[in-house]
Structure 1
Amino acid sequence: SWLRRVVDELPLGVVALGERGDVVLWNRAMGAITGLTEGDVVGRTLERLPEPWGPALAEGEPTGLVGASGERRTLHLRRGAREGPLRLLVVEDQTAQRRLEEHVAHQDRLGALGRLVAGVGHEIGNPLTALLLVLERIRAMDGAGERSAETRAAVEEALQLGKRIRVILGDLRGYGRLAGEVVLQPVDLAQSVDDAVRLLSLVGRDVEVVRAVAPGLRVRAEGTRLTQIVLNLLANAVDASPAGSVVEIHAAVIDEAGHARVQLEVRDDGMGIDPEVLPHVFEPFVTTKQPGEGTGLGLWVVWEFVGHMGGEISVDSAPGRGTVFTVKLPLASAEEATYALPKEPRS
């Protein structure tokens, strides 16, 4: 009937119970949520439905259950009063809303952290420069060999540590520079990948990088920053990979709601990322490397750069099955002109 067709088109799950509490209607949305068809449930009471859905619908709020897609769902159940011989249950799937709220909160947190560390970097920069100048003068004054070898070694070590701090500050200041105007133009993605692989080859690691990026595939980006994105992702993948393994990088054009985008993936077969660390990998100073081997700023810089180019980045990883970083950027048309984004910090 037309009424049944209307019920089946609703985005909400609808269950109708008869006088004996048996299911007499189970609409299409309920099937999508639970994976149970109407034929599986009609004529059965809620208590007799397969777990976990039967007990949840009969007794409580079906929140946190694993749905037909395998994803943990956030569901809200409303029980209606009995109308004649029928009683209605309405189930609203709030999973997408919860996911969006968590994403927005995470973006806000990353933006706030970024502004904080960039500000700290600027404050530390001036005294650090003065300190390095003093150390350089001390080293220069030691030409006559008046100080002990131990003192000279301590001065050299202090200089190296200071220079390491300066490198970290350079990454921090990158946020401040990027928060200003970002000029986007068509950039050859294959060329950026080639440049990044060439720079990475200077490290001399025994890991092969396999590329599958079509020549002439162009994205709207800032060229130097795009190369840095690729280089940081490849460097992380190589560092995570055992000797003799392969890191893959490939790109393809995809369609998202009628908009053409380029999807770039960097895949490794390393140890993967711990589930407790995974939600925080794009935060500053979070690293999976050994102490002293990383600053924890590389992925944060990538996240900032991608966002300011109008793109998105995500990660899929688990211990023992490697890691895949996915970057999505707008596809550039051949006729597209260079333009600048407004001076507005990312938040």
Structure 2
Amino acid sequence: MRLKLKLYHLYFSFLKTYRSDSSVLRKKAKAQFTLLSIFLLSGFTFIILDLIFLGMNTDVLMVIIALSPLIIGFVLLYRGSYNSSVFFLLVGIVLLMPLTAFISSNHEPIKLYNVAIFGIIALLVAGLTAERVIHNILVGIASFITLTVYFLFFVIPAELKPFTLMIDAYIASMVLVGLSTFISIFLTLQLNQLIYELLRSNSELDRRVAERTRQLKISRNRLIETEKLSALGGMIAGISHEINTPLGSSILINSHFGTIRDDLQEMVIAGSVTNTYLLEFLEKSDDLRKLQEDSLSRLKKLIDSFRKISADNRQKEPELVNIREEIEMTLRIFRKKIQSTPGVNLKIENPREMSIVTYPNLLWQVLTHLLENSLFHAFPSGVGSIELSYEMVDSNLVLQYRDDGIGMDRESQKRIFEPFFTTDRGKGRTGLGMIMVYNLLKNAGGDIQVNSLPGDGLSYSVRLPDLSRENEQE
């Protein structure tokens, strides 16, 4: 019983030495199985020949029994137990090859040489597939023991040749197996060194990739910060320009009013004020008041625009919006604005009844800005067309907006959602419309994409989620 426990412990101790990456063990097990299949084929060839000419005998039964480790190793390989598979396949090498060699020849010394040759092949397999040097040593010891057992219990009793001839064959076979053991150990050490170098190279490559990735992230973050600072600088310049114009006008008007008031005061002190001068003073004052009102009104509109940019639609409660009615209402209002340019045609492709839950007036605001952009920028000749289409895609309203105007270059497309970016600042455009559209959609969980080529029109793809579906998912 103790002997069985010791053997059991020895078996599992040897099995535990095969601990490696599963992919490496899988490759080794497959290599061993391929080599064993070759040995198996040769063994079966001799078995068939023996069955044909001699009939079943004890040697054939021994070979069949020795095939069991190969079968077990194959099953374990198939089930994915790679470390156990490697072990059983090595056991199969040690058992199968000498038994096959023993029945492969009827010549006395050649039997030992055949056993030695198969032992050498087993050692070479171990050298190419073993994890540690202990595996090579164990296979070498097994080959030595196998040679000795066959020499003492099979060859000597069965042969009639001189004993010295048997001794010479035995010694030569042992020397060959010993040399093969050293070669096997050398192969294992060399392959392990190559594997170590490969793993170290992979580790170094991973480190370099990680470092390069980190540097790229730093560079990207710096680029983003630079772009933010550039956009902030442009926004500040735009704010300064837009506020400075009405503010400068107000200062100039106030200065002019102070001048004519001083003139009136001097004439009153001198007693030379006439009714005609008073009427002129009142008329100039009224003109200056109107100019002041215009400047202040423009300044108020500008401030209102700033407030709209940062406005959050989520302050309002979402409600059910009929998409078709919302679009048609927006187009009706806009058609009144473009009565002076009858050459612009507005069209909805395949209008259909559709409703989603979203923030009120959101779609109207978005469409109004897009339509005004097309009217001011797309059709310098006053002739063109604007087409709208919409559909539901994965609980999102997708609105396609297209005009056939002059289009937009790539640089302008990159900056279209920047505050105060406009190509018509001299015509009273502030460059705040598209940033309003962007923020409105973003706050509602949607987005907008722009695509254009110079001379080939402009298209927008607007995505607006159905908030009722989002609430259901939550």
TM-score interval for Structure 1 and Structure 2 normalised by the shorter chain: 0.5 to 0.7
Structure 1 distance, partners of 2:313, 2:397, is 23
Higher relative contact order (CA 8 A, sep 6+): 1
Maintained 8 Å contact 2:378/2:407: no
Maintained 8 Å contact 1:317/1:323: yes
1:330 and 2:465 correspond: yes
Structure 2 distance, partners of 1:185, 1:321, is 37
The Cα of 1:109 is off from its aligned counterpart by: 4.4
The Cα of 1:152 is off from its aligned counterpart by: 4.3
Structure 2 distance, partners of 1:329, 1:158, is 42
Counterpart among 360, 383, 389 of residue 223 in structure 1: 360
Q: Name the stretch that deviates more: 215-224 or 145-154.
A: 145-154
1:164 and 2:298 correspond: yes
Structure 2 distance, partners of 1:335, 1:314, is 22
Maintained 8 Å contact 1:190/1:213: no
Alignment length (residue pairs): 234
The Cα of 1:149 is off from its aligned counterpart by: 5.4
Maintained 8 Å contact 2:425/2:431: no
Q: Which has the higher helix share?
A: 2
Aligned counterpart, 2:275: none
- What is the CA RMSD across the aligned residues, in angstroms? 4.8
Q: Residues 175, 211 of structure 1: CA spacing in aligned structure 2 closer, same or farther, 3 A cutoff?
A: same
Q: Deviations over 1:100-131 (max 9, x none)?
A: x79x959x949x96xx88xx89xx8xx98xx7
Maintained 8 Å contact 1:237/1:270: yes
Q: Deviations over 1:199-226 (max 9, x none)?
A: 2122223311111263432233212222
Maintained 8 Å contact 1:220/1:329: no
The Cα of 1:309 is off from its aligned counterpart by: 0.7
Q: Residues 149, 261 of structure 1: CA spacing in aligned structure 2 closer, same or farther, 3 A cutoff?
A: same
Counterpart of 1:236, as a letter, is N
Question: How is 1:1-347 mapped onto 2 (pairs within 5 angstroms)?
Answer: 105=224, 109=228, 145-147=279-281, 152-178=286-312, 181-204=315-338, 205=341, 206-212=343-349, 214-242=351-379, 243-255=382-394, 260-331=395-466
Aligned counterpart, 1:32: none
| Percent identity of equivalent pairs | 23
SS at match of 2:383: coil
SS at match of 1:284: coil
Q: Residues 149, 319 of structure 1: CA spacing in aligned structure 2 closer, same or farther, 3 A cutoff?
A: farther
Structure 2 distance, partners of 1:289, 1:251, is 30
Maintained 8 Å contact 1:310/1:329: yes
Q: Deviations over 1:157-207 (max 9, x none)?
A: 332232122112111112344276242222112222122212212222331
Maintained 8 Å contact 2:405/2:458: yes
Structure 2 distance, partners of 1:201, 1:165, is 28
SS at match of 1:302: helix
The Cα of 1:332 is off from its aligned counterpart by: 5.6
Q: Residues 148, 276 of structure 1: CA spacing in aligned structure 2 closer, same or farther, 3 A cutoff?
A: farther
Structure 2 distance, partners of 1:170, 1:336, is 32
Counterpart of 1:198, as a letter, is R
The Cα of 1:336 is off from its aligned counterpart by: 7.3
Aligned counterpart, 2:64: none
* TM-score, normalised via structure 2 length: 0.40
The Cα of 1:267 is off from its aligned counterpart by: 0.8
Structure 2 distance, partners of 1:284, 1:335, is 30
Unaligned runs of 5+ residues in structure 2 are 1-22, 24-195, 262-277
Structure 2 distance, partners of 1:240, 1:285, is 15
Structure 1 distance, partners of 2:469, 2:350, is 18
Structure 1 distance, partners of 2:316, 2:375, is 29
Maintained 8 Å contact 1:281/1:299: yes
Structure 2 distance, partners of 1:226, 1:213, is 18
Unaligned runs of 5+ residues in structure 1 are 4-80, 340-347
Q: Residues 166, 217 of structure 1: CA spacing in aligned structure 2 closer, same or farther, 3 A cutoff?
A: same
Structure 2 distance, partners of 1:300, 1:270, is 21
Q: Which has the higher strand share?
A: 1
Structure 1 distance, partners of 2:385, 2:288, is 41
Q: Name the stretch that deviates more: 239-248 or 150-159.
A: 150-159
SS at match of 2:387: strand
Structure 2 distance, partners of 1:227, 1:272, is 23
Structure 2 distance, partners of 1:146, 1:212, is 60
* TM-score, normalised via structure 1 length: 0.53
Maintained 8 Å contact 1:189/1:213: no
SS at match of 1:223: coil
Structure 2 distance, partners of 1:324, 1:311, is 17
Q: Deviations over 1:4-63 (max 9, x none)?
A: xxxxxxxxxxxxxxxxxxxxxxxxxxxxxxxxxxxxxxxxxxxxxxxxxxxxxxxxxxxx
Counterpart of 2:399, as a letter, is L
